[in-house]
Amino acid sequence: MFDKLLYIETFGCQMNVNDSERIVSMLADLGYAPTNEAAAADMILLNTCSVRGGAEEKVYRRLANLRIYKRDGKQQIIAVGGCVAQQEGEELLRKLPYLDLVIGTHNLHLLPDMVRCAERGERRSETSFIDNEQRLDLFPSIKGESRLSRFVTVMQGCDNFCSYCIVPYVRGREISRRSADILAEVRQLADEGVREVILLGQNVNSYGLKSADEPSFAGLIRQVAEVAGIERVRFTTSHPKDMSDELIACFADVPKLSGQIHLPAQSGSDAVLKLMGRGYTRDSYLDRVRKLKAIRPDLVFTGDIIVGFPGETDADFEQTLSLMEEVRYIDLFSFVYSPRPGTKAAELNDDLTKAVKMARLDRLMELQRRHTREICHTYVGSVMSVLVEGEGRLVGQVSGKADNGRIVNFTGDCSLIGTFVNVTITKAYPNSLLGELSN
């Protein structure tokens, strides 16, 4: 029975998207139905990101806006979760008197209890990290409504401590979920009609490395792919240093494994990679890419790059552009370096001017636009297997995802939703493809 409304705004990565789905299903048990209207909600929750300064500032601006709703005389609960909550903790309650709840990244299981407290007017912050044994039993599964493609968390946290990154501090130590629990969840999702699972974690390819009882990530993929009803398996995100030959082999002999991989390089310069503490060189990264391409020539790559890392010279930056030329990413997420408090890189001399950083970002994005355009144009005339997921943007169209992750729109009936169909690509846009049903 729903008698209250919950409004959630999610910032940042897919971990947060996944956590927000969990929050919706947990609070449904307390009578909260999701709404898209903050003003109408009985509870507003911001699920926050602190990975870059800009992301964090956005959260503070949004929090300042929320004050208006509270002043409307409503008994609204205002809550902050995610990485800013973890980072700031109690301090947020002190700074923002209209805030009711602060919930850290390890504390989601406490949320129902905290919401009940807030309903009685109690303000509370819970941000302590809990130990790994206890966490294993607290990996919540997602109830929610059945869709065709769902995330399944396989690990959380990160032990890599790349010098620029705040994630290990706000998400805590790395822990792999039990494979038996993961498989049980995948089977349940398949029974509910899910056809594609996306195995999710900060560093999925280090799955199981620290536990003698669990399979490697490659082993896990093979087991997940065997679950009847699951037709496609994706994963995100992976670390190049843990891209084992065993995992690369899966791209050759696990047909259900998607034809797209997210493999963040961060930089193409050895000097910068060393300062970043990434644990691989330009050559070893490119070696992984070449092996993957040899084993599956149609595989598409996406990645992340940071420009303007402290000390990055023009020559270092040219190395990044040349790495992009070698890899030819289909999509690239590029960021200007943002110093994060408490990280090692924050102590380095951030000596580049903003103008230099922005000029580098512009050049990089221009190159990426060209690569995206050129790669997508090669698809015109080809036939792609598409999982139809919903209505398209235009009337009479349906939309789905190709094996390589591209969105494909084509004229077709809604009865196709939930099925795999062959589509001939007729036109390529930067973010999607247009096609015709070709069965």
Question: What residues make contact with ligand SF4 under the rule CB under 6 A?
Answer: 158, 160-162, 165, 167-168, 202-203, 239
14 vs 56: CA distance, rounded Å: 16
CB of 225 within 8 A of CB of 233? yes
Q: Which of 248, 179, 170 is nearest to 208 (CA)?
A: 179
* Residue closer to ligand SF4, measured from CB, 162 or 273: 162
**Partner touching 203 among ligand 5AD, ligand SF4, none, CB below 5 to 8 Å by kind:** ligand SF4
Instruction: Name the residue nearer to ligand 5AD (CB basis): 289 or 388.
Output: 289
What is d(CA 15, CA 18) in angstroms, rounded to the nearest whole number? 5
Minimum distance of ligand 5AD from residue 99's CB (angstroms): 26
**What burial class does residue 265 get, using C-beta atoms within 10 Å of its C-beta: 0-12 exposed, 13-18 middle, 19+ buried?**
buried
The helices-and-strands tally (H runs, E runs) of the chain is: 14, 19
Binding-site residue total for ligand 5AD (CB under 6 A)? 12
Stretch 155-174: interaction string toward ligand 5AD, x if CB under 6 A: ---------xx---------
CB closer to ligand SF4, 135 vs 340: 340
The 323-362 contact track toward ligand 5AD, x by CB under 6 A, reads ------------x-xx-x----------------------
Q: Which is nearer to ligand SF4, 239 or 401 (CB)?
A: 239
- Tell me the CA distances in angstroms from 121 to 77, 81, 91, 344, 424, one per residue in order: 9, 18, 19, 40, 58
User: For the window 277-306, what string marks contact with ligand 5AD as x by the rule CB under 6 A?
Assistant: ---------------------------x-x
Query: Which does residue 360 bind out of ligand 5AD, ligand SF4, none, counting CB within 5 to 8 angstroms by kind?
Result: none
Pair 89, 104: CB distance under 8 Å = yes
Task: In whole angstroms, give the CA distance from residue 138 to residue 156.
Answer: 12
Which of ligand SF4, ligand 5AD, none binds 239 (CB below 5-8 Å, type-dependent)?
Answer: ligand SF4
Which of ligand 5AD, ligand SF4, none does residue 52 bind to, with CB < 5 to 8 Å depending on kind? ligand 5AD
Q: Judged by CB, which is closer to ligand 5AD: 52, or 150?
A: 52
What is the closest distance, in whole angstroms, from the C-beta atom of residue 233 to ligand SF4 in the complex? 21
Provide, rounded to whole angstroms, the least separation between the CB of residue 346 and ligand 5AD: 8
Contact code string over 245-264 relative to ligand 5AD, x by CB under 6 A? -------------------x
Q: DSSP states of 185-219 as a string?
A: HHHHHHHTT--EEEEE-TTGGGTTTT-TTS--HHH
Whose tokens are 């850290």? That residue is 104
Q: Which residue is nearest to ligand 5AD (CB)?
A: 304
By beta-carbon proximity to ligand SF4, the closer residue of 45 and 261 is 261
Tell me, what DSSP letter sits at residue 278? -
Helix (H) or strand (E) holding 182: helix 179-191
Q: Please, are residues 243 and 263 in contact by the beta-carbon 8 Å criterion? A: yes
| ∠ Cα 47 389 204 (to 5°) | 50
Binding residues for ligand 5AD (CB under 6 A): 51-52, 164-165, 264, 266, 304, 306, 335, 337-338, 340
